[in-house]
Amino acid sequence: MNAPIKNKLLKGETGEWEIVIGMEVHAQVLSQSKLFSGASTQFGAEPNSQVSFIDAGFPGMLPVINAKCVEQAVRTGLGLKAKINLRSLFDRKNYFFPDLPQGYQISQYKDPIVGEGEVLIDLKDGETIQVGIERLHLEQDAGKSLHDQHPDNSFVDLNRSGIALMEIVTKPHMRTSEEAAAFLKKLRAIVRYLGTCDGNMDEGSMRADINVSVCRVGGYEEFRRTGSFKSLGTRCEIKNVNSMRFIAQAVEYEARRQIEVIEGGGTIAQETRRYDSKLGETRSMRSKEEAHDYRYFPDPDLLPLEFEQSWVDAIAKTLPELPDEKKARFVQGGLSSYDASVLVAERELADYYEELAKGVDAKAAANWLNNEILGRLNRDGLSITDVPVSAAANNSIIQMISDKTISGKIAKDLLDIVWTEGGDPRAVVELRGMKQVTDTGAIDAAIEAVIAANPDKVEEVKAKPKLAAWFVGQVMKQTGGKANPAAVNAALKIRLNLPDEG
Amino acid sequence: MSDLTAMTLAEARDAIRAKTISSRELTGAFVSAIEKARPLNAFITEAAENALLTADAADKRIASGQMGALEGLPLAIKDLFCTKGTRTTAASKILGNFMPPYESTVTQNLWDAGAVMLGKTNLDEFAMGSSNETSAFGNVINPWRAKNSNVNLVPGGSSGGSAAAVAADLCLAATGTDTGGSIRQPAAVTGRVGLKPTYGRCSRFGIVAFASSLDQAGPMTKTVKDAAIMLKSMASVDAKDSTSVDMEVPDYEKLLDGGIKGLRVGIPREYRMDGAPAEIDALWSKGAEWLKAQGAEIVDVSLPHTKYALPTYYIVAPAEASANLARYDGVRFGYRAEGVRDITDLYEKSRGEGFGAEVQRRILIGTYVLSAGYYDAYYSRAQKLRTLIKRDFEQAFELCDVLLTPTTPGPAFGVGAKTSDPLEMYLQDVFTVTVNLAGLPGISVPAGLSENGLPLGLQVIGKAFDEATMLRAARAVEMAADFKHSPARWWSV
Amino acid sequence: MSVDKDTVRRIAKLARLAVPESRLEPMAGELNGIFQWVEMLGEVNVEGVPAMTSVVAQKLRWRQDKVTDGNQADALMINAPGGEDHFFVVPKVHE
Ligand SMILES: [Mg+2]
Ligand SMILES: [Zn+2]
């Protein structure tokens, strides 16, 4: 189901514009050691402590490839439903920068390890769109320069230098800032499911470069029909957008800027820009623009990267259930498409939900997770991985609600108790006598006690039947909240002889 | 023994094993020979003190009967091999006083076999040159002089220091590296043996890179047998070099004396070049006759793309070098220019001041042929030519087992004679460079003297990883040539 | 294809080599000599010929994913012309 194009347009002074967005995502490969050296990839170590002479570009040093990184790239390619290339080449990308010790980055240029694939993204309004993947290639990360330690100098730390990255390049298939953000979230979910990247944007494990252009209405359709980039506008690349939050802002700002420039009679220069999150704007990075000529050529220190289809097939067999498949299963189990897509966004959340929903109503479990568990996690600033009450324990609470052992209200109290004090919910219910009272004898006794204590109210209720609610409240109080409210209602109606309307 | 330094590696090894000499005596003899030979400028760094200490340690092992294949034998190492704790310069100002915190695999193999390092030999800067005149540490002088002449000659290059050291008896043997002929050409013009193994036979780990797809380490020795002994120890399968080939290293010395009866020796007709001195052709023909007389079959073969090899080389090698030398940027090691404005200035000045003229020229060539718009016309075309050159050899080797060619277009020339025209200098490698492009093994053997009394070499080219057969053929050339000449020791008077 | 002074200046910039103004012209001449000689490769029909990517017939060797290197910040720094507290130091870089 596709939403009308209208919703994807931006209004300018002279009419409406379409935004076209493509992305290059650098995802750090989850591995113990670097792509071409045995130095550790652990985050946050002392400066230059995780650096081999290979990573520092010392004379005579040679790269030797890490098998795990190759496997992770293939795994990711399979997760992106992409073509795996059984033969690929490593190239040198030549440029000078203090954090690039070899004077070149080993990357893959003409022949990447992974070719075309696709990612499905779910939007809030229920629309699902398909974003084409152009390629995925393996390459080395650069080191890090610190610029604010000294007035005249920069300090270079090579701990990151040589860590394996997967550069994932999309086709220009996104058309709103929401789609761009949703794509990155989905990609992050996929690599985290696969275990090929931790997706930690704060630590730089995932960084996005976003290509934005604008064109007149119809340009995008023409591009999709003909494949000709001429029907699209000139694009600008927003470098290193390092937070999910800023993606939509950066795209939005950049599209508006381009429209203003064009409507003001100017033209867009193809350039690299940086997003300043404090000012909420993109700025040209002219310094990086000067005559780039990377002089790519195959790295003579490495032979072509080759493997067998049977090896790829063996990896395919170990792939976990991915978000799309999981979502389909959840929907089949009774969840709405949107609820399901929210749950599968994080593998841990989906896993928790699955455990939680065992043998209970799917919708009830999803509601309990959304309203009670996530609410409390949010309040305590915790994530699903450090939830204090296990899914199994919560599952037993839901079971007790559905078999009427406890009321919905008691259930919330119960969750609060086990949340802070721990313990098995069923045992707590027993121990603290929290079971719902359905025994009519006990309820009748409580009603008699309330009537005896409030003879005046008995008279009033006959005139004002709405006062019955007050009686229900008193009876509940008398039973310590454990009486089944429906049973109390029914008994009161009979005892007070109230009319049978709602 | 009268002159210890005149021994071959094999003789010295046997003498040490027989305990007729000690490593200390032998090493001491070379240390004093090196001191006296300073006018040759063969060494950039002498390591006398360490050499004697290592020799003592070797003597202890010898006494206890624990002997490696090269136990106690003093060698010279081209200053392109990183040696832990001993300055490694690549004969460039830009490496400054670089002190490697690691050891190259080839030298480690030699030390593991018990060898002693006398010092680091001079070379063309970053191995770029054919006369050892581009070194930041000065020219090396060839120990040989022409008949009735006092003119200083070049020792060839880039392994000129190693060649001079072996020719002047300043070591038993030396290591070299060969990217376009840098072992074989200097060996030829100094009257010694130089062997470039098959690409992938010796690890490149820890060797300062010039052109990665062509560079290969190999021995420079007094005899073919010594080359066989050295190669056995230098070669290994190395997990630290992705291009090191998983193939067992044979005992070349044992395989040396099988004779060449029935061996098919190819004579590539394209190596007969217009304008080449007649004495080169004559020597080549003589070489073929020597082999025929020992039972070989001489076969006429064709390598049609031969004339394209040198221009192909001068695209591929500079392209790779331009990237390999990008790491010399004044940031983490080596020379850093003073008084720079910013990072770009630091790069440009450090590299502009640190690299010599020939290195800069090759970096510029390499940068140009890889740059946008020129890649297909130059680099890509050159790599296709390389495929054709390799095919030429594969087809020739269907008809023969080894090839015989001259090593150089002429004998050693005078210092400064060819420095004004780079192309003329590049022609020095015309017979050797094809072998690097195809990744094959080649060996130069001294075969005779030129009219003016200077050594000339013949080259035997083998099939990939068939160094054993190549060595057998080289041994046959050596026996027939019976080259007994040595340079007069004019430098130590 | 002829190399002129501006081309030499442009390549020298790409290669980060300070070539003095006075050397640009002579260098252009030297390079032209070499490139003219190299032109002979144009004679050869290379259609359908694969570019060589490796001279040895061997599969790329793969390494196991193990931490075997690092923890040598001191050794990394001993040759550094600018180094402080285990950092390499360069003139301030403006990104
Ligand atoms: Mg990119
Ligand atoms: Zn990248």
Give the nearest partner residue to A293 out of B101, B242, B372, using CB atoms. Answer: B372
Q: Which of B89, B364, B419 to mutate to test the interface with C (most CBs of C within 10 A)?
A: B364
Question: Residue A292: closest CA among chain B residues belongs to which residue?
Answer: B372
- Residue A432: its pLDDT value, please? 84
Whole-structure pTM value? 0.92
Q: How far apart are CA A151 and CA A149, in angstroms?
A: 7
- Residue A1: its pLDDT value, please? 36
Q: Which of B92, B216, B331, B379 to mutate to test the interface with A (most CBs of A within 10 A)?
A: B331
pLDDT cut 70: percent of chain C above it: 98
SS (H, E, C) chain B: CCCHHHCCHHHHHHHHHCCCCCHHHHHHHHHHHHHHCHHHCCEEEECHHHHHHHHHHHHHHHHCCCCCCCCCCEEEEECCECECCECCCCCCHHHCCCCCCCCCHHHHHHHHCCCEEEEEECCCHHHCCCCCCCCCCCCCCCCCCCCCCCCCECCCCCCHHHHHHHHCCCCCEEEEECCCCCCHHHHHHCCCEEEECCCCCCCCCCECCCCCCCCCEEEEECCHHHHHHHHHHHCCCCCCCCCCCCCCCCCCCCCCCCCCCCCEEEEEHHHCCCCCCHHHHHHHHHHHHHHHHCCCEEEEECCCCHHHHHHHHHHHHHHHHHHHHHHCCCCCCCCCCCCCCCHHHHHHHHHHHHCCHHHHHHHHHHHHHHCCCCCHHHHHHHHHHHHHHHHHHHHHCCCCCEEEEECCCCCCCECCCCCCCHHHHHHHHCCCHHHHHHCCCEEEEEEEECCCCCEEEEEEEECCCCHHHHHHHHHHHHHHHCCCCCCCCHHHC
Q: How far is A273 from chain B (nearest CA, A)?
A: 21
Is the Cβ pair C49, B239 closer than 8 Å?
no
Is the Cβ pair C66, A32 closer than 8 Å?
yes
Residues of A in contact with B243 (CB under 8 A): 300-303
- List CB-based neighbours of ion ligand 1 within 5 Å: A 24
Residues of C in contact with A153 (CB under 8 A): 82, 89-92
Judged by DSSP in three states, A33 sits in: strand
Is the Cβ pair A154, C68 closer than 8 Å?
no
Is the Cβ pair B364, C27 closer than 8 Å?
yes
Structural domains in chain B, sorted by start: 4-262+401-492 (3.90.1300.10)
Q: How far is C41 from chain B (nearest CA, A)?
A: 6
Is the Cβ pair C34, B98 closer than 8 Å?
no
* Residue B383 CA neighbour count, 13 Å, CB half: 21
User: Which segments within A253-411 are labelled E, that is strand?
Assistant: 272-276, 281-284, 297-298, 305-306
Is the Cβ pair C62, A146 closer than 8 Å?
no
**C-alpha A25 – ligand 2 centre gap (Å):** 8
Q: pLDDT tens per residue, chain B (493 residues)?
A: 458 999 999 999 999 999 999 999 999 999 999 999 999 999 999 999 999 999 999 999 999 999 999 999 999 999 999 999 999 999 999 998 999 999 999 999 999 999 999 999 999 999 999 999 999 999 999 999 999 999 999 999 999 999 999 999 999 999 999 999 999 999 999 999 999 999 999 999 999 999 999 999 999 999 999 999 999 999 999 999 999 999 999 999 999 988 999 999 999 999 998 888 899 999 999 999 999 999 999 999 999 999 999 999 999 999 999 999 999 999 999 999 999 999 999 999 999 999 999 999 999 999 999 999 999 999 999 999 999 999 999 999 999 999 999 999 999 999 999 998 888 899 999 999 999 999 999 999 999 999 999 999 999 999 999 999 999 999 999 999 999 999 999 998 6
Residues of C in contact with A146 (CB under 8 A): 87
Q: Is B64 a catalytic site residue?
A: no
Give the nearest partner residue to B208 out of A60, A96, A299, using CB atoms. Answer: A60
Residues of C in contact with A293 (CB under 8 A): 14
Catalytic residue among B22, B23, B78, B130: B78
Tokens of A167: 């550069």
Is the Cβ pair A62, B205 closer than 8 Å?
yes
- Residue A3: its pLDDT value, please? 46
- Residue A465: its pLDDT value, please? 77
Q: pLDDT tens per residue, chain A (502 residues)?
A: 344 566 788 888 899 999 999 999 999 999 999 999 999 999 999 999 999 999 999 999 999 999 999 999 999 999 999 999 999 999 999 999 999 999 999 999 999 999 999 999 988 887 889 999 999 999 999 999 999 889 999 999 999 999 999 999 999 999 999 999 999 999 999 999 999 999 999 999 999 999 999 999 999 999 999 999 999 999 999 998 888 889 999 999 999 999 999 999 999 999 999 999 888 899 988 655 456 899 999 999 999 999 999 999 999 999 999 999 999 999 999 998 888 988 998 889 999 999 999 999 999 999 999 999 999 999 999 999 999 999 999 999 999 999 888 888 889 999 999 999 999 999 999 888 888 777 778 888 888 888 888 888 888 887 787 888 888 888 888 888 788 877 888 888 888 887 765 4
- Residue A290: its pLDDT value, please? 59
**C-alpha A139 – ligand 2 centre gap (Å):** 7
The answer to whether the beta carbons of residues B325 and B126 sit under 8 Å apart is: yes
- AA letter at B323: A
The answer to whether the beta carbons of residues B241 and B105 sit under 8 Å apart is: yes
- Residue C95: its pLDDT value, please? 64
C77, containing H or E segment: helix C73-77
Residues of A in contact with C60 (CB under 8 A): 65, 302-306
Q: Is B158 a catalytic site residue?
A: yes
Cβ atoms within 10 Å, residue A248: 17
**C-alpha A106 – ligand 2 centre gap (Å):** 10
Give the nearest partner residue to A96 out of C16, C67, C82, using CB atoms. Answer: C16
Q: How far apart are CA B31 and CA A227, in angstroms?
A: 73
- Residue A2: its pLDDT value, please? 45
Residues of C in contact with A147 (CB under 8 A): 92-95
Q: Is B78 a catalytic site residue?
A: yes
Q: How far is B317 from chain A (nearest CA, A)?
A: 11
Judged by DSSP in three states, A453 sits in: helix
- Residue A485: its pLDDT value, please? 78
- Chains B–C, number of C-beta pairs less than 8 Å apart: 161
- Residue A291: its pLDDT value, please? 63
Which chains have at least 3 CB atom pairs separated by less than 8 Å from chain A?
Answer: B, C
- Residue A179: its pLDDT value, please? 94
Q: Is B467 on the interface with A (CB under 8 A)?
A: no
* Residue B231 CA neighbour count, 13 Å, CB half: 36
Is the Cβ pair B380, C51 closer than 8 Å?
yes
Q: How far apart are CA A244 and CA A185, in angstroms?
A: 8
- Residue B432: its pLDDT value, please? 98
Cα distances (angstroms) measured from residue B295 to each of B265, B287, B298, B309: 10, 13, 9, 32
Task: Identify the nearest ligand to the CA of A27 by its number.
Answer: 2
Judged by DSSP in three states, A396 sits in: helix
Judged by DSSP in three states, A211 sits in: strand
Measured between its terminal Cα atoms, the distance across chain C in Å is: 35
Strands A128-140 and A164-170, bridge-based pairing: antiparallel
**C-alpha A90 – ligand 2 centre gap (Å):** 13
Q: Which of C14, C69, C89 to mutate to test the interface with A (most CBs of A within 10 A)?
A: C69
**C-alpha A116 – ligand 1 centre gap (Å):** 16
Is the Cβ pair A58, B102 closer than 8 Å?
yes
Q: Is B45 on the interface with C (CB under 8 A)?
A: no
Is the Cβ pair B326, A58 closer than 8 Å?
no
Per-residue pLDDT of C40-89, as tens digits, reads 999 999 999 999 988 988 899 999 999 999 999 999 999 999 888 899 99
- Residue B275: its pLDDT value, please? 81
- Residue A487: its pLDDT value, please? 80
- Residue B312: its pLDDT value, please? 98
Residues in chain C: 95
Q: Is A301 on the interface with B (CB under 8 A)?
A: yes
